[in-house]
Chain A
Amino acid sequence: MNELERANDNSGNQSAIRTSSPLTTLEVYDQYGAMAYGIILQIIPQPHLAQEILVNVFSSPLLQSCNSYPFTFAVCVIKLARAKAVEAKRQMMAIAPLNDSNYSASESTPEFIFDLAFRQGFSPDEVAEKLKISKPEVLKAFHEFFKSPNA
């Protein structure tokens, strides 16, 4: 049960929140390490770099900020893994920039938009600019992506 579920729980048993058993970093790693590694590999396909980022994610003090995160640890780990991988990717791109490809609006399928935003590390504004579509269309594509059966 996450924070929202607890908040929606009408039992009002607030003490249950405070006495939850402590999770060590290794327990978080055992639960979500493979998921985080999968996410990092999607963004940075080089295994050695990806492993370095994985270590950074789980030894980062930011992982402790997941304590104050209102949602599940899984979502927090997903955000953290993506943020670290995208940061590393940006550093790599600064050293060896790739040619800026031209995209057409016809390519703007939810899968492609999600790939640009989540895996390539572009912000929704940047994706909208690249695909010459509006930002609400980009955000709507995220919703469509997770609704689609192959998501």
Chain B
Amino acid sequence: MKTQEFIKSGILESYLLGMTTEAEEHQVNQMILTHSDVSDYIIRFEKNIQGHFLQNAVPPPAEIRDIIQLRTNKTHIQKKGNNTYYDLPKDDTKKKDEYLDIEVNDTYIKVHKWWRPAFVAVFILSKIFLIAGLYYYFKASNQEEEIQKLRTEIAAPRR
């Protein structure tokens, strides 16, 4: 296939927009490597396609940036020519970057699940002590009254 025919076939546009099959991708890659006209066309088309989609750009709400910042905090993307998806850094810095520094401003705390029965036991015990305390208080005051009554009864015949 002649280079110009190949360019006019539209396969390059399809390739750059991610709509090609594996076989077509392979064919395009071969053409890029062997024909400078094809690679020149792709460079021009990249600008064209970018311009086309920039015309239809819509500014997203400002909160979206914050959400993305939270999700990808400290993750750097370095555009390296020879870096593949599988060659991403695997050292400690990457592991460190996997954790997000998030400032938590809510008023909730997390405790161990055993605190729940402990709180229930404390609650029940406090009720038992309260009831027992009231019971003994009223019992003591009744006894006090009884003693007072008996004292007055004992004291009355003496007169």
Taking the complex as formed, is B117 at the interface, i.e. its CB lies under 8 A from any CB of chain A? no
Q: How large is the interface on A (under 10, 10 to 19, 20 to 34, 35 or more residues)?
A: 35 or more
Bound together, the chains give a CA A55 to CA B8 distance in angstroms of 36
State whether the Cβ of B72 lies closer than 8 Å to any Cβ in chain A: yes
* A38 adjacent to B46 (CB under 8 Å): no
CB-defined contacts of B42 to chain A, threshold 8 Å: 4, 71
B-side contacts of A49, CB under 8 Å: none
Interface class of chain A by DSSP:
helix
| Inter-chain contacts of B78 with A (CB < 8 A) | 20, 22-23, 67
- In the complex, the number of residue pairs spanning A and B with C-beta atoms less than 8 Å apart equals 170
In the docked arrangement, what's the CA distance between A35 and B53, Å?
Answer: 6
Distance in Å: Cβ of B156 to nearest Cβ of chain A? 90
Q: Which of B10, B52, B58, B76 touches A24 (beta carbons < 8 Å)?
A: B76
**A16-41 Cβ-contact flags toward B at 8 Å (1 or 0):** 01101011111011100111011101
> A74 and B46 in contact (CB under 8 A), knowing A59-B68, A139-B13?
yes
| Chain B interface (Cβ < 8 Å from any Cβ of A) | 7-14, 16-19, 32, 36, 39-40, 42-43, 45-46, 48-50, 52-54, 56-61, 64-65, 67-69, 71-72, 75-85, 87-88
Chain B residue at minimal CB-CB distance from A117: B19
Chain A: residues with CB nearer than 8 A to chain B? 2-8, 17-18, 20, 22-26, 28-30, 33-35, 37-39, 41-42, 51, 54-55, 58-59, 63-68, 71-75, 78-79, 82-83, 117-118, 123-124, 136, 138-146, 151
Pair A67/B77 contact, Cβ less than 8 Å: yes
Please measure, in the bound complex, the distance between the C-alpha atom of A141 and the C-alpha atom of B17, giving whole angstroms: 14
B36 neighbours in A (Cβ, 8 Å): 8
